[in-house]
Amino acid sequence: MGFRTDQIHAGVTPDPVTGAILTPIHQSTTFVQDSVDEYMSKGYSYARGGNPTVRAFEKKIATLEGGADATAYGSGMAATVAVMLALLEAGDHVVIADVVYGGTYRFADQFLRKFGVEVDFVDASDLDAVRASIRPNTRLVFTETPANPTLKITDLAAVSEITREAGVYHVTDNTFLTPYFQRPFELGCDIVVHSTTKYLDGHNATLGGAVVVNDPELHEKIAFARISAGLVMSPMVAWLTLQGVKTLSERMERQSANAMEIATWLEGHPKVERVGYPGLPSFPGHELARKQARGFGAMVWFEVTGGVEAGKKLMDSVRLWSLAENLGAVESIITHPVTMTHAAVPPEERARAGITDGLVRLSVGMEDVEDLIADLDQALSQI
């Protein structure tokens, strides 16, 4: 089936009892068993171990990513934590891209190290640096591309080749591009992580995460970590995300087209010093982004003349853009990563990764692009 067909139909069927076209919300803590000898004969026993509504979503995201199976979680961070819990133990070593979501950095820096796991943050766009960072006790390499918030592009196929030769897992976060634009399994990745809160939901309505794998044994390990730590997605969140995913392709197309227009406009504005968007030919990772993905996404960053104070005034002056921490929704959002999403990253680490104090991050929505540009223009006129 084609992607658009799968995003609507994969994992779901009309309810066999009523014929309802939408998967029911199975809001139940426990599931009654027919007998002791037939325990789990229907596949479910207790909500922490599985739920039919959640399972429908897991089947859908596994299909869309081209994976064998998936597990769903209460947040994107819960999904990342489950992978780490399943695959790492004291004495192991993990390599993480130097530009990742701030929560990923915080968990690795403050918890993995606390539990005896050695952590190195490495420029994943530098293949020699990735190769040199792998040790005998390395268990996984964690990448994110485009990276949050600088949009640094990592060559997923090349990193996968390095990890395959070393016998370690390559985990990548595909939140920014989704399986509609980027197919990590086709590029050799072993595990794909999502914050479903973002584009998969698309409506600022839920908090959730997902992990997709191609190996049934690996799936069982990660599912065991989820049930053990209680990192589950709720049935209501699964149901809402199932509805959001149905329009994923159309939202991604429109939001990305808007982002391209806005990035091009910003690049020519006299009060804007720098613009970052993978779709711009001036962007350092532009050619690689074109090669490994079929779209550039809807995230843009820029810096204004006048530095941090000018950037703050800009963000406080917008009217249509919402000053908030989320991304990927139909509403356009403006964010200051240093004080919001990446505040947990030490200043010296932010500077090393190129996350400057004046960086403004845009999550471009589905509004009329002329209105979005007009709002940025009036805000820029005030600095």
Number of structural domains found in the chain: 2
pLDDT beyond 80 at 356: no
pLDDT beyond 80 at 341: no
Rounded average pLDDT over 351-369: 89
- pLDDT at position 202: 98
Q: Are residues 52 and 158 in the same domain?
A: yes
CA distance 271 to 381: 8
Could you please report the per-residue DSSP string of 174-194? Answer: -TTTHHHHB-GGGGT-SEEEE
Q: What pLDDT digit, counting tens, does each position of 8-35 carry?
A: 999 999 999 899 999 999 999 999 999 9
Q: How many CB atoms lie within 10 A of CB 204?
A: 17
pLDDT-derived band at 355, boundaries 50, 70, 90: confident
Tokens of 63: 């299909």
Question: Exactly one of 69, 73, 92, 101 is catalytic; which is it?
Answer: 101
What CATH number did the domain enclosing 300 receive? 3.90.1150.10
Question: Exactly one of 173, 190, 201, 375 is catalytic; which is it?
Answer: 173
- pLDDT at position 342: 79
pLDDT beyond 90 at 340: no
Q: Is 42 a catalytic residue?
A: no
> Which residue among 196, 230, 245 closes a domain?
245
Q: Are residues 121 and 171 in the same domain?
A: yes
Q: Are residues 226 and 253 in the same domain?
A: no
CA distance 364 to 297: 9
Rounded average pLDDT over 309-323: 92
| 217 φψ region: left (φ > 0), alpha (ψ -120 to 50), beta (else) | alpha
- pLDDT at position 359: 86
Q: What pLDDT digit, counting tens, does each position of 242-281 carry?
A: 999 999 999 999 999 999 999 999 999 999 999 999 999 9
- pLDDT at position 9: 98
Domain containing 287 equals 248-380
- pLDDT at position 140: 98
Q: Is 48 a catalytic residue?
A: yes
pLDDT-derived band at 382, boundaries 50, 70, 90: very high
Q: What pLDDT digit, counting tens, does each position of 143-156 carry?
A: 999 999 999 999 99
pLDDT beyond 80 at 332: yes
Q: What pLDDT digit, counting tens, does each position of 185-217 carry?
A: 999 999 999 999 999 999 999 999 999 999 999
Percent above pLDDT 70 for the chain: 100
Q: In degrees rounded to 5, what are phi and psi of residue 113? A: -65, -40
pLDDT-derived band at 302, boundaries 50, 70, 90: very high
pLDDT beyond 80 at 344: no
95: enclosing H helix or E strand? strand 93-97
Q: In angstroms, how far is CA 314 from the centroid of its own chain?
A: 27
> Which residue among 245, 277, 299 closes a domain?
245
pLDDT-derived band at 383, boundaries 50, 70, 90: confident
Q: Are residues 239 and 343 in the same domain?
A: no
- pLDDT at position 345: 81
Q: Are residues 141 and 236 in the same domain?
A: yes
Q: Are residues 211 and 312 in the same domain?
A: no
CA distance 300 to 302: 7
- pLDDT at position 311: 85
Residue 44 in contact with residue 51, Cβ under 8 Å?
yes
Q: Are residues 235 and 292 in the same domain?
A: no
Q: Are residues 354 and 372 in the same domain?
A: yes
Q: How many CB atoms lie within 10 A of CB 139?
A: 18
Q: Are residues 313 and 223 in the same domain?
A: no
Rounded average pLDDT over 289-299: 98
Q: Are residues 231 and 206 in the same domain?
A: yes
pTM, entire model: 0.95
> Which residue among 245, 260, 276 closes a domain?
245
Question: Exactly one of 60, 183, 198, 312 is catalytic; which is it?
Answer: 198
C-alpha distances out from residue 95 to 153, 163, 170, 176, 184, Å: 16, 11, 10, 20, 18
Q: Are residues 218 and 301 in the same domain?
A: no
CA distance 180 to 193: 14
* Core vs surface per residue 22-35: b (16+ CB within 10 A) or e: ebebbeeeebeeee
Q: What pLDDT digit, counting tens, does each position of 118-148 carry?
A: 999 999 999 999 999 999 999 999 999 999 9
CA distance 214 to 184: 11
Q: Are residues 203 and 253 in the same domain?
A: no
Relative to beta strand 322-323, strand 333-335 is parallel
Question: Exactly one of 4, 6, 48, 357 is catalytic; which is it?
Answer: 48
The sign one gets for the Cα dihedral 354, 356, 359, 365 is positive
CA distance 371 to 378: 11
pLDDT-derived band at 308, boundaries 50, 70, 90: confident
- pLDDT at position 307: 81
- pLDDT at position 348: 83
